[in-house]
Amino acid sequence: MIPSAENRLQPLPLIETTALELPRPTLRDNTAELDRVMRRLKMEGFDPLRVHFLNMAGLVSKIRLHGQKMTALLSYWDGHWELMDVVGPGHEGPILGMAVDLGTTSLSFHLGALGNRKVLGQLSVPNPQIIHGEDILTRILFSRQEKNLRTLQEMILKTFNDAFLQITRRHGTLPGEVCALSVAGNTTMSHFFLGLDATGICKEPYIPAVNHFPMIHGGDLGLSLHPFAPVYVFPNVGSYFGGDLLAGIVATSMHRSREIQLMVDVGTNAEVVLGNQDWLVACAGAAGPALEGGVMECGMVALPGAIDRVRIDPLTLEPRWHVLGNEKPRGICGSGVIDLVAELFGAGILTVQGTMNTGLRTSRVVKREDGPAYVLAWGDETESGQDLLVTEADVGIFLKSKAAMYTILQVICKKVGVDLEEVEKIFVAGAFGNHMDPAMAIRIGMVPDLPPRLYEGVGNTAGDGAVMVLLDRTLLSEVRDVAGRITYVELNVNVEFMNEFRGALFLPHTDPRLFPSVNIPADQGGRGGF
């Protein structure tokens, strides 16, 4: 269940169980029922140990029911333990925990068994808040009315509860059996999840309501988990650097690395962390949803039916592609778009400026009312029966996203005074992290021109990090420590950014020296011609 390479000998999960065999109460030791259990647990090291008032009466009756033999469930609250339940002998099942990557576009749930560190099941569902805005900004504007904030929160909570039911049912259990929850979301999503005013996030000086959230009892949130299950929400570092990124850092372990490493997480925002065990610098900027495949006419997320790989024959200009799942193509996902733009550029169909060369001898480049387009799949090949095409306008939007991403990487390195060559590892997280072909991303100038082996697709690091804290409670203080030592650079207000950005709008860049490995057509200012 642990994505990180590290293997602890002794697991330290968020929930511990311990079997108790208590002496029968006597006139000489007539300690109260609950106190007897608490005393024993403290002796076993669960100290300081608390119990929630509302749980007390229920615990007492269970303790009375089970008599001398029982198993106690203890939850770790980052500084103290809480006695959350007791079960009779023979009723100890696996201790279940749930980890959630709470994304703007979709939510992914991971049900795990804490004892044997197994992920039992996963489930991804769209974020239902989308009806109130595709992007964060729209939703924050919507949330300015308190009842709308409540609506957004309830949408997430309902999605959680529905998903809990669905995923636990598959494994023959019930949501009430889930004993712990960890949630990694961006700052806005975490605010909505907890019903917190998010309006400060989108206006200067970009102040979230809360960065460090307390641990919460599942019941207080209205979740269908065990009512006293601890709910951990990853803290934020700033308005545009949320708990999802912190979870990502934990998942890559870059905060423990001696070498300088870089992590890029591209969703609707591009978020970057640079550093090692001694220092960490982060920045984030709007990359636009283009990289997620969310804006293009034919864009889609990386689900079955999405084209995720594209090659274009430089002579015939005919494409070959790969579709996720055993389906006809329905759209093109992030990694597919990168491939497509890189191949269109490599084949000379796209110019350095990102315009489409309409003078080529191919039926693939067509003219539409809104400008030229490249037909990736004809109607008879697609699910819908319609041509699947990418327009010059689509490419324009995409170039802004890729330019944003490259610029962020460049600016953060400059800020810190690190040369890109010093970076020993680049983790690419996010929806297309696992699929992105580094050579393709380099060709279009989306990522720096470094040896492709330095790039490592790490996929959903937020979800992985969320799983990891369930399995290793020592990470709670590590996360807090990392959140405290990250230097966050606000890019939204960085003028330098805009200058760099303009140069990065080209393919691969206005300054070809930055991309020595990319073969730029001679007639477009490549080395060939000069």
- Distance, in Å, from the CA atom of 247 to the CA atom of 465, rounded to the nearest integer, reads 4
Q: Which residue number, 33 or 424, has a Cβ lying nearer to its own copies?
A: 33
Nearer to its own copies, 225 or 332 (CB): 225
Q: Of the candidates 355, 359, 360, 358, which has an alpha carbon nearest to the alpha carbon of residue 316?
A: 360
- Site residues for its own copies per CB under 8 A: 25-27, 30-35, 38, 48, 50-54, 56-57, 60-61, 64, 79, 194-197, 200, 204-214, 216-217, 220-221, 236, 238-239, 490, 493
As a whole number of angstroms, the distance between CA 15 and CA 226 comes to 12
CB-wise, 190 or 224, nearer to its own copies? 190
Helix (H, G, I), strand (E, B) or coil at 258: coil
Give dist(CA 55, CA 84) in Å, integer.
8
CB of residue 209 vs its own copies: minimum separation in angstroms? 4
Closer residue to its own copies, CB minimum distance, 51 or 141: 51
Alpha-carbon torsion (436, 442, 448, 453), positive or negative: positive
- Indicate the residue among 239 and 261 with the shorter CB distance to its own copies: 239
Preceding peptide of 508 cis, ω within 30°: yes
> In the bound complex, what is the minimum distance in angstroms from residue 159's beta carbon to its own copies?
19
H or E segment and range at residue 405? helix 392-416
- CA nearest 476: which of 41, 100, 80, 16? 80
Q: Cβ 34 to its own copies, closest distance in Å?
A: 4
CB 56 to its own copies: min, Å = 6
Nearer to its own copies by C-beta: 110 or 217? 217
CB of 97 to its own copies, least distance (A): 19
Smallest distance, its own copies to C-beta of residue 208, A? 4
CB of 282 to its own copies, least distance (A): 13
418: burial class by Cβ within 10 Å (0-12, 13-18, 19+)? middle
Pick between residue 219 and residue 457 the one whose CB is nearest to its own copies: 219
